[in-house]
Structure 1
Amino acid sequence: MPGNFQNLNSETTAILCQFLGAAQISEVRPFGTGHINDTYKVTSGSGNFLLQKLNRWAFASPEAVMQNIRQVGEHLANRPYPLKNMRPVAACDGSLWQQDAAGEYWRMFPFFDGTLTLGRVETEDQAFEGARAFGAFAKALGGLPPETLHATIPGFHDGPQRLAYFYEVIKMGIPGRLKMATMEIETLLKHQSLFGQIAAAGLPQRIMHHDTKIGNVLFDAKTLKAVAIVDLDTVMPGTVLSDFGDMMRTFANAAAEDEACLEKVALRMPIFRALSEGYLLEMGDTLTPLEKKWLPEGGRWLSLMQAMRFLADYLEGDVYYKTNYPEHNLVRARSQLALFESMTAQLSGIKNP
């Protein structure tokens, strides 16, 4: 299978053969900027594909991840789903993943030509279209019972569980860092009741994406209309606040997640309104009155939770998130707390978007 294979070892080449067999492959090159999975774009006579190694450190059960993705793909194929279906490509033996000699898991997906991703939401139209796409995804999965999918990251958005862990970290944290983060710890614990309130709200379980940043929407390069929802590894049971709240946190923040100048951090209300309109265009008739009532709290909930996760990692010595400088996780936590406070101020009195 001749071709231009950049940074591809013999084991990876063998995996490629298990998916595409004797297909004429012209090029394989690293693709994307993600830090979780190793991804390659494969150009072949049979079409263009993405070959990806699943990070076993991030996902303890790769089989569960792929079983979820397979089930979601099969379900969407039989629904009136308006977007392209990111279904995995079967290997020559019919399986959806292959293991190399080191026990690493590999899978393949179609590559949708003529598409692009956005690094940041700049306009209301982008927010509307991205949220509409995530809404269409959730709506199409409405007929699939949540209990049929695995929790690929158990406790991912379990506020009380993460809060309990945070208390343990405070007991064992690095002394110097505990002192540096005194104000942030106090601020976070001041608002800890939000986690219990949402856990006790009785929101129904749905199948949610759980990583609704704008980069997980493929847009048509010419029209900028949504084409597909990607990165399905965290699709699992949850509540609508996980997806809506993460869009609020990532779409509508005026600044970067690690912005050190807290005056720049704020909820952009026009973007919030646009994403709300886009999401509810698809999900408005599906959500219960209780869910609609709690929607605005999703952004506060996840901003506070993300601040807690960054702060816990800082106190433990930066063992989870990659950092560029010693105080990076503390800066991230401060930024998320500033976003939480901006949301609290601007959304006061709003019951639903």
Structure 2
Amino acid sequence: MRLGADTVSSLTIPPGELIGRLEHVCQAGGLNDVAALAFHTPAHGRIHDVYLVHDSSHPFVLQRVNTNVIADPVAPARVSECALQAQGIENGLLNWPATGTALLFCLDSCWLRRGWIYGKPPEQPVTVKQVQGMSRALRHFHQTIDLAAFKNCRYASIDPWSGIAGLLLQESISNPQLQLDSYEREAIAQLGRARQTLALLQDSTVANCPAKLPVVVHRDPKPSNFIERSRGDMVLIDFDTIGIGAAEQDLGEMLRALLTGDESSESKVTTADDCKGLIHQIQQGYGDSAMTQRRISLAACHSCLWQAERYLEDHLAGDRYYKVISRGDNLLRTRAQLEGFDLVYVASSGTGPQIEQL
């Protein structure tokens, strides 16, 4: 299930379908402790209903949030911590007019409870334009790829693969006569070698570490990981987070890194070395939407394997913390990401990195 049209103004979701879509988005994103904000915007454009949806217990609980803190979109919208004080559980969400427009977000519920909405302190305003830009960037992935094709992909056990890349990989092993272009042949060969390396690392991990293996997953799609580029659009950054989780839910998050980049990019991926280079581009916040479906799938598989390999090596070496602010490589990665968006890393403070326009 996909999340609709290319623009916020044309996205219309019937009320009876909205909850199912919220569940789908949360599950597809691999977010186990999820809160989602659903904004209802009627035809006249005024945001007046906000609902907090979370899965701390099943089924989803709908809580209506104080709507008085939502200003008219012509002025900065102000969402403060008091907005999270629920006014009681109700089914008002289902009574929305079918012509309403919904903007969806998946956020970490602990992050929400701290009162940090849209990556800014509660006392700072957030404009409706920012809300719409982040919603478009988050939705772009769901409009571009069919998650169901990859649902059975399991990196923890390596096999069986599913989706286009997995089918190519399996068929290339069983059918030497398969017609593949040079890029696909090289990429499949690299994937095969990466699988062997990762399998050895996993054997060592099972022997030395808890049985539950780490897999690649982006568990931090918070709006502070959105950057507004100089040309005005917003993109997601920081796609190299590693976590313990259900492997079948993780490919979608890695694919998002490939699909939310600069659509005007003139670079084309033509070799397996370019596929390796794409991993670096991901860390800079780039993606090449001009890639074919096959190549996107192959690159995504390669990226996941590369990240899992890096994590397992660190884990076996005794490093149990993949991202620590004091580590130099994390600071370098932050600078590289920001430079990709015409931004510059200034300094780190108690509230996190300070960013300014070049």
Q: TM-score, normalised by structure 2?
A: 0.31
Structure 1 length as normaliser, TM-score? 0.31
- Higher RCO (Cα < 8 Å, 6 or more apart): 1
